[in-house]
Amino acid sequence: MALGTHSAAAAFANSGPAAGVESDREFAFSDADFRGLAQVAYEQAGIALSDSKRNLVYSRLSRRLRALGLSTFREYREFLAENMAERESFINAISTNLTKFFRESHHFDHLRSEVVAKFAKANAASLGRMRVWSAGCSSGEEPYTIAVVIKKEIRDLERHDIRILATDIDTEVIGRGARGEYPGNSVDDIPRPYQEYFTPTGTGDTLAVDRQARALVAFKRLNLMEQWPFKGVFDAIFCRNVMIYFDGPTKAKLIQRYTEKLKPGGFLYIGHSESLNGSHPGLSLVGRTIYRREA
């Protein structure tokens, strides 16, 4: 989602003559405003906004007020309640996108050796099917990293049925990801053996992802809290630095849904700062923030 690793906002201490209202802001921002917007975020996307996110919410949504020509957060809340299209802009605004190619590289080492290489060996003489899901794909660096790892390891891609599903709740970052073009300095994070899959576009200092690798990835908007419109299971699911936005019950439910969408022996990769609190039958820890679905 564009819900990727986030930068925490400083905690806000109420001050001013009116209880619960910040008087030194461009826009009045009351406790009721914050609670109302936090409730919408939770209902729409499962995002749990604690008081420490107050400044973040104000800063991000002030831009929406200016763009819409509104003068108060109360007006914005009323507009949000009546305008379904604005709810998408609201979620986009409060989401944070911080990602890069080969981030938490040990996950891709594991994917290469335990999923892709084993797939290639098992299907050396026959057609094979592989599905990988990048849930919360942001602007595409994660699914394209998965794609180039697969392309490097499997030279006869055209013989197999391999697809990567890349989903996010933020429509803006999905659009950027689908274009498959990135600043030239993006290769700084890419190990040398994979840099051949990123070539200059001829327009400014921009690189394009290899055409065949791009063809493996399908970008779709998806709210993880809603019904998932696919029936198959996955060899691997990446959901990294997304669950930090959710409360305990929401996270537990999501993990159970991921488990059900993994084939036996499939892997779930989560973010470096995340953990699966409590017991999750069917999953076992097999590496640093790597879980395997048992048969």
Residues of the chain with CATH 3.40.50.150: 105-293
**pLDDT tens, position by position, 133-188:** 999 999 999 999 999 999 999 989 999 999 999 999 988 899 999 999 999 998 88
pLDDT classification of 97: cutoffs 50, 70, 90:
low
Say if CB 112 and CB 153 are below 8 A apart.
yes
Determine the CATH number of domain 21-94.
1.10.155.10
Whether 6 shows a pLDDT value over 50: the answer reads no
Whether 109 shows a pLDDT value over 90: the answer reads yes
Residue 147: how many CB atoms within 10 A of its CB? Answer: 27
- In this prediction the pTM is 0.82
Per-residue pLDDT, 10: 26
Residue 266, C-beta contacts closer than 8 angstroms, at least 6 positions apart: 233, 234, 235, 236, 237, 292, 293
Per-residue pLDDT, 281: 84
Q: Which residues are catalytic?
A: 60, 168
The region of weakest confidence among 6-15, 51-60, 142-151, 274-283 is: 6-15
Residue 158: how many CB atoms within 10 A of its CB? Answer: 8
| CA R_g for the chain | 21
Work out whether strand 234-239 and strand 129-135 pair parallel, antiparallel, or are unpaired: parallel
**Residue (of 210, 217, 111, 221) closest to 168 by Cα position:** 221
**pLDDT tens, position by position, 176-219:** 999 999 999 988 889 999 999 999 998 889 999 999 999 999 99
Residue 272, C-beta contacts closer than 8 angstroms, at least 6 positions apart: 104, 240, 241, 288, 289
Q: In this prediction, what percent of the chain has a pLDDT beyond 90?
A: 71
For range 53-79, the mean pLDDT: 93
Structure tokens at 4: 């990727």
HEC states along 219-255? EEECCCCCCCCCCCCEEEEEECCCHHHCCHHHHHHHH
Per-residue pLDDT, 80: 94
pLDDT classification of 229: cutoffs 50, 70, 90:
very high
Per-residue pLDDT, 3: 45
Average pLDDT, the chain: 88
CATH match of 105-293 with 3.90.245.10: no
Per-residue pLDDT, 53: 87
Q: For residue 198, what are the β-bridge partners?
A: 209
Per-residue pLDDT, 23: 52
Residues of the chain with CATH 1.10.155.10: 21-94
Burial of 23 (0-12, 13-18, 19+ CB in 10 A): exposed
Whether 20 shows a pLDDT value over 80: the answer reads no
Whether 91 shows a pLDDT value over 70: the answer reads yes
Whether 35 shows a pLDDT value over 70: the answer reads yes
Q: How many residues does the chain have?
A: 295
Per-residue pLDDT, 15: 30
Residue 204: how many CB atoms within 10 A of its CB? Answer: 9
Q: How far is CA 162 from CA 152, 166, 287, in A?
A: 14, 13, 25
pLDDT classification of 103: cutoffs 50, 70, 90:
very high
Per-residue pLDDT, 279: 72
